[in-house]
Structure 1
Amino acid sequence: MFSTQLRAILAALAAFGIFGASYAGECDSVGSISIGSQAANVLEDGSVVLRAKMNINIDGSARAYHLKNRAGGALIHLCNAGEVFLPDGSRYQGSESNETCTGRFMTDVAAIGAAGWNDPTVGAVRWFGVLGQGRVRVGSNTVEGVVPVLQADGFFVSPTALIDPHFPPEDQRRYVEPLTIPAGVIRSSASLTARGVVVGTFGVAIDPVKNVAVPFIVGDTGPRVGEGTPALARQVAGLAIDPGVEYSHRYDGVVDTRRVIWVFFGGNGMSPPFTQSSVADAARAAFDAWGGETRLAHCAARSDIPD
């Protein structure tokens, strides 16, 4: 729930007429939409608001994935980056369980890699957290993105949906850097696209427990709303951005209940380059144009925002 103190401030300001009519309905819903299994309110200006968790998306980091995982310096296990396809027609997500992640997945990846990544008699991995190239038909499945791309230091290239086309796909600088840039994830959804909510546009996130509003750029796509970069999660939790974040602190800022308020403004997206300062300035300007802290306070005080 929103803080009692801030509720009192809002009430006092309203009583003195400081907000006036211009803010009276600034978070009133004019309809609702479905984003996969999630529901969201649509406001009069087309912006979208809902409550969700704050999980971590490290894709885009030069230190995200390594074949040796933590021993190689990676921030996240490789099983989170791929889906295995086997010659018997079976397929599975590497992250479906801890046992699969550290056992079966790594065993299959070792065999598939030793066979050159594209031998249909051994199997293939469809990479998504790692940049994969080429395709192969395994049984009845055509598998895309099967040969993982390595950086010079042995880490895999990790892509994001938002890109800087001035850099080639194999260059990690093409992608949004998650340790320094506050960025959110959206589901690829016709209901969001119709309202201009696409990668490169902006939003704001706030955890009512911490009351820190953090404007962000939409930097990637995923299965649902409720993921942010470590930079976003840390700031929402009241922590400083840490570009050198260690493995033990990679999930700082996680909120595992659906209490974080996510607002997506839609509208015009940002053009590259996507640096920490340029994104912060553009996201703040978009937040201020949307209504800033005052409007967000009205949204956070409402009890009818879907979760």
Structure 2
Amino acid sequence: MYKIMLADDEGVALDALRIMITTHFHEMEENIDIRIAQNSGQLSDIYQKYHPDILFLNIQMAGLHGIFSIRELHAFYENCLFIVVSYSRKTDYKREGFNMGIRDYLTKPLKREKVISSLSLAFRELNYHKKHQIQEQLNKESFDTVIPVIENGFISELLFPEQLHQNLSLYTSLLDIHAPYGWIMALKFSQITAHGTMCNPIGSIVQLQGQISYFRTIIKAFFPSAIIGPVLANRIFILIPSNSMPLSESEAAFRQKRSMDMETQLHRKLNLRFKIGLGEAQPMMNLAQSLKEAHEAVEQ
């Protein structure tokens, strides 16, 4: 749907412009929605509520102040393309105007071929941007799908250090990791009995897999740089990149507090009992040692 707005205080000019558009683009009638403004007050009110894709604007309409009025409209909603209409051929602000959405200048009396040409170019630009936005969204969705797979692969290879040595630079590049060190967090989870004890690890795996996207969101809310591994039995290992080794007392205290708060949030939101074990910071090439420490800590 193309949202087109026509703003002019000359009724005859408005009618003529609307007829030009509807007759030439009659095959697109269902995809074109036209709104009319006959004074500056209507222009401001409709523009702010309607958010047009294209605005034919009589810049000499009473109550407007030239380029300053366009600047105000553009500041409120910057995705509109302006086609400026006036009796004057002066375009002193042409270069500046492009950055404010002005795409063409038409002089009165309006000629049909000029109007159609200008509007066709505006449609073309809108289509380009819409396709670009759709592609960006598809790329983002694809990226969001691929990243967990890469993270799973990275953590899985910690169990096989010789493979990690071969692929470390690839993983750090794909995951945009620049820190030279890291530490591992081990999470052990299970369902809860009426007495609050951990039980039924198999059932808890099924339960967590059904909420894995939400689980990842909670983890990254507390540790934004976290690299989250796959579910291995009822355990998950998570890498937190670090710029320090060993961690300072304040850093160690901070990660302990964040881990405890995260554990509470996971339990509250997912209705599973979690236990956390933390390994010491290690060079990226020696993360297997931190994983071993985290695993031992969570099993105690």
How does the TM-score come out when normalised to structure 1? 0.20
1 or 2, which has the higher helix percentage? 2
**Higher Cα radius of gyration:** 2
How does the TM-score come out when normalised to structure 2? 0.21
